Structure 1
Amino acid sequence: MPELYDTVISFKQLSSDFLKILDQEETFDVIIHVGDEIASESFKAHSIILRTRSEYFRAALSAAWKKKENGFFVIDLRGMSIPHAIFGHVLFYIYGAYLKIEKLGVTEKLQLLKAADILMMDAFVDYLEADLIKTEKSWVNEKSSEVLYVALQISRCKELVSLCNDAILRQPKTFISSKEFLFMPHDYVVSLVERDILGLDEIDIFAAVIMWGINNTPGISLADDFSTWTADNITTLQSNVIHLIQQIRFFQMPPDDFMKKVGPLTRVFAPELYDQVVEYHANTQFQFVYDVQPLRLNSTIIKENEEPALISYWINHPETDCDLPENLPFETFDKIPFDFHLIFRCPGNELAQTAWRDLCYNQGPTMTIIRTKNQNEDEAVFGGYKSISWSTENHDTHIGGNGFIFGYLWQQRKLLLPWMLRVNNHLDADMFLGDGVEVFIDFRHGEKLLAHANGFEDLEETIEELEVFRVVRKTTDEG
């Protein structure tokens, strides 16, 4: 059998020979019109190559579709969202099975991705998706809403969608503020607002749902004065957002914010819901028609329910030193016996002790969670639980409370290598978790995090983001 090197050389030669066929005008038998009404261009090619390389062209050149003009089959792609400026690259790939992809910008690659999907060229779609993930990852993370808008239109781009989702969950406010969000498919928006963990205030989620609904309701726009809407407009809008509205945690909104910012619109969409929320805050024994969903976890670091479930297990079982129990007792998010109220969030490069103290002092038990990156660009999560408040009084009396510190990796949607170390008395220091001797996590130094545990190598990591939550035990739980 030939060696791999010989096979590669043979493939390159074959590719080069096929590309030479593009220069043989005397053998062309197909004309392809590409572009739109404003700008278009015609390309010539060979029907036998097109049939072999694209399911779309195979169908277009079938006996039922054949139209010859002056000896050429004619295929009209105008108006099919394939820019004429990039179709030459499509033909190059059809003949040569590769692209000079390093010379293409990301926008061109996305245009090619859409064209490959339209032309039913699965191998080309896979080729472009793999390149975007491998060579354009930072750009995809930065422009995740733009990439996601394209990737969601292509069923094969599951890995690209997953990469975009990870980026969006890190910066959800940027995503819902983007113009692309307004055009996202209904099912995707539903899947987003269904999440129990989403790094947004509930009022921001509600506002995003309403804006998306208005943008996708014929006859009205975001520029309208609401008072000009007709009853039919409102009915259509209601039908567009009903499944989304059902996922909003109205009962968990601060009462004043609900009354001032949300109430007027809920009275339009669901007047019974408005009355129920008002009554809920006045009388928790009231019989509710609507389900009172649990408080959403407002985090851009925590990704999946497994994480708060594990942390809750550690809090709920102070006698255990088990890093990861065989079976977590909280099978669903609503069974977790604690609510985690976000009180502080900050990127690592903006951490300041004064701002942290203003928001984190006198909050009762807290959970701190920190996303870091090391010199190898590996990401990890560190954190800790403190059973009493950070406060001036506790600092002066040298009382730090008990709890634990922890860490884990998160790779390919899996929680890896979780560890937890108990702390009998946290050192009474701001932005510091642990006893200061045997185990500790120190985040008092701007972007730098120091982690120490006796018997293990000390770690120094760069803080990407930090969140602090007030931990409140639910009035009733099953854990």
Structure 2
Amino acid sequence: MTRQALTDTLLRDISELYDGADDYNVKIQVGEDSETEIFNAHSVILRARSTYFRSAFSSNWAKKEGDFYIFKKPNVSAIVFQIILRYIYTGTIALDAINVESNLIELLIAADEMNLYELVDHLQQHIINLNHDWMVQNGVKLFNIISQHKGIFSKLEEYCNNIMNQEPELLIDSNDFWRLDDETLITFIQLDNLKMEEVNIWENLVKWGIAKNSTLSADMTTWGFDEYGILKKTLTKFIKHIRFFQMTPQEYYYKVRPLGKLLPKELEEDLLSYYIVPDCKLATKVLPPRKSQNNKRSESSIITTKHFNLLSYWIDDGQETLPNTLRNGQYEYNLLLRGSKDGFGVEIFRTKCNNKGATLVIIKLKNSNKIIGGYNPIRWSGSGSYLNSDQSFIFSFYSNDLDSSKIILSRVKDSFYAILDDNNRGQGFGFGDLYIFLKSCKLKHYSTKIHDSETFEIDDYEVFQVIKK
């Protein structure tokens, strides 16, 4: 018989003690009230498998009545302890069993409490490998537990932080979102890398606060002074973590200003002053933008996610007047060319951008924060002729400001001259409304002039392929 076979025989014989032994000397009472159940066990097995039980028996945590140790665990349910005890005796756990899958979080807590470190590690990895549906159903509960046990379940803590940063909608869209405890929610809204617009964080915080108070109606138009007072008290500890000063003027005006009663008076006055006189001195500490809001999207070194969201809105026939909130559009932007990396010549433009379908040209002007550009909904191909389109547009805005008063959207008014698909250096929009390489900005075939001069100098430029998701 091989060594492995001998080992397997030993494990089998020990595991049979779980089901068939009558020489047990420990009675463990688990659960509370009507859910109480008593399990029989052997102290020698418990000591060998768990330092928790070793300490319990050696320091008289467990009382002895006659020949039996009496041990009580009211904080562990019978179904969870049954799984734990089977693991202690057999070294196995059926993770796909219904009673295990439906109690994974409780199992994790119990295994940690009983110092079953290998099982804790095994359960953490199993939860990480579970499908999206499990996280949707159990995410809020898991996040609360991880927040309450910081530093204990390190693998899951890292996993949960990544989800908070990258897929916050798994929490936000959950029917149990309101069950997030205070500390978990504070951890969530403090994250620098949180991939969520600040105004959406604010709106969901308000919804959470309302749901936490059963006396509050979801219809805030019916509220009086008392209702606002209740919600303000609930939200007080969270307000200082919301980055109000990083919202657009439209977001502030429509989403924050009407709820000014919820804010400290000083913050309310500072916000009003800031959005009317941006350079005014503020008493409130201004938190920096989240790193995810600073990150350039689709490898752009010129514009941010908010600019791309605005451009997506325009591609979808949005007007120059901005909506209350800009949300992620239905488009992906694939970088084809960057002047500072690939060169500014027309030949490289033809090589990288011709026959790529719809494209977006982004031009940063020299010695300025101003950005101009245009959307070609057809393609570049060097046909040497005009392309007919009623969907093209040119535009200008600033890299550091999406104030609607500084944004220009200029749609084509003569569709026959929408796109100049030149085979030399005349690529652009209209008859000089925006020539990329000739650096011309006149007003001919588009509705509005996008630059105050008829010429411009390029600091850098990018071309993106526009792909509908």
TM value normalised by structure 2:
0.61
State which of 261, 269, 274 in structure 2 corresponds to 1:267.
261
Partner of 2:169: 173
- Deviations for 1:72-106, whole angstroms, at most 9, x for unmatched residues? 2111212x0x2212321111111122213333452
For 2:29, give the aligned amino acid. Answer: H
Partner of 2:406: none
Cα drift, residue 30 of structure 1: 0.8
State which of 110, 119, 136 in structure 2 corresponds to 1:124.
119
Task: Give the secondary structure class of the aligned counterpart of 2:374.
Answer: coil
CA RMSD of aligned residues (A): 4.3
Task: Give the secondary structure class of the aligned counterpart of 1:397.
Answer: strand
- 2:130 pairs with 1:106: no
State which of 213, 216, 225 in structure 2 corresponds to 1:223.
216
Cα drift, residue 60 of structure 1: 3.2
The structure carrying a bigger strand percent of its residues is: 1
The change in CA–CA distance for 1:71 and 1:425 in structure 2 (over 3 A counts) is closer
State which of 42, 46, 62 in structure 1 corresponds to 2:42.
46
Cα drift, residue 355 of structure 1: 8.7
Distance 1:390 1:384 in 2: 5
Distance 2:146 2:200 in 1: 25
- 2:353 pairs with 1:357: no
- 2:362 pairs with 1:386: yes
Partner of 1:247: 241
State which of 57, 77, 82 in structure 2 corresponds to 1:83.
77
State which of 397, 408, 411 in structure 1 corresponds to 2:420.
397
Gaps of at least 5 residues in structure 1 are 300-304, 316-337, 346-352, 372-382, 404-422, 427-432, 434-440, 448-479
Distance 1:68 1:38 in 2: 24
Gaps of at least 5 residues in structure 2 are 218-222, 323-328, 336-358, 364-372, 377-391, 395-417, 422-427, 430-434, 438-459
Partner of 1:287: 281
Greater radius of gyration (CA): 2
Partner of 1:341: 306
- Deviations for 1:181-210, whole angstroms, at most 9, x for unmatched residues? 444454543343233443333233123334
Distance 2:296 2:313 in 1: 28
Cα drift, residue 272 of structure 1: 0.9
Partner of 1:318: none
- 2:44 pairs with 1:12: no
Indicate conservation of the 8 Å contact 1:344/1:356, yes or no: no
Task: Give the secondary structure class of the aligned counterpart of 1:290.
Answer: coil
Distance 2:7 2:360 in 1: 55
Distance 1:48 1:275 in 2: 69
Distance 2:59 2:191 in 1: 50
Indicate conservation of the 8 Å contact 2:140/2:180, yes or no: no
State which of 182, 189, 193 in structure 2 corresponds to 1:193.
189
- 2:45 pairs with 1:22: no
Task: Give the secondary structure class of the aligned counterpart of 1:161.
Answer: helix
Alignment map for 1:291-330 (pairs within 5 Å): 291-296=285-290, 308=296, 311=299, 314-315=301-302
Task: Give the secondary structure class of the aligned counterpart of 2:317.
Answer: helix
Distance 1:295 1:214 in 2: 27
Cα drift, residue 270 of structure 1: 0.6
Indicate conservation of the 8 Å contact 1:362/1:389, yes or no: no
Cα drift, residue 29 of structure 1: 0.8
For 2:284, give the aligned amino acid. Answer: Y
For 1:288, give the aligned amino acid. Answer: L
Task: Give the secondary structure class of the aligned counterpart of 2:33.
Answer: coil
Indicate conservation of the 8 Å contact 1:368/1:385, yes or no: no
Indicate conservation of the 8 Å contact 1:344/1:360, yes or no: no
Cα drift, residue 308 of structure 1: 3.4
Indicate conservation of the 8 Å contact 2:30/2:38, yes or no: yes
Indicate conservation of the 8 Å contact 2:361/2:461, yes or no: no
Cα drift, residue 274 of structure 1: 0.7
Distance 2:37 2:78 in 1: 6
- Deviations for 1:142-179, whole angstroms, at most 9, x for unmatched residues? 44334333444444322223333333444323413435
> Which portions of structure 1, spanning 4 or more consecutive aligned residues, are displaced by more than 6 angstroms?
360-363, 400-403
The change in CA–CA distance for 1:7 and 1:178 in structure 2 (over 3 A counts) is farther
Q: Identical aligned pairs, as a percentage?
A: 23
For 1:223, give the aligned amino acid. Answer: L
The change in CA–CA distance for 1:165 and 1:172 in structure 2 (over 3 A counts) is same
Indicate conservation of the 8 Å contact 2:29/2:37, yes or no: yes
Cα drift, residue 116 of structure 1: 0.9
Distance 2:227 2:189 in 1: 26
For 1:96, give the aligned amino acid. Answer: T
Count of matched residue pairs: 351
The 10-residue stretch of structure 1 (109-118 or 54-63) with the greater mean CA deviation from structure 2: 54-63
Distance 2:114 2:181 in 1: 22
TM value normalised by structure 1:
0.60
Distance 1:297 1:360 in 2: 29
- 2:93 pairs with 1:95: no
- 2:195 pairs with 1:205: no
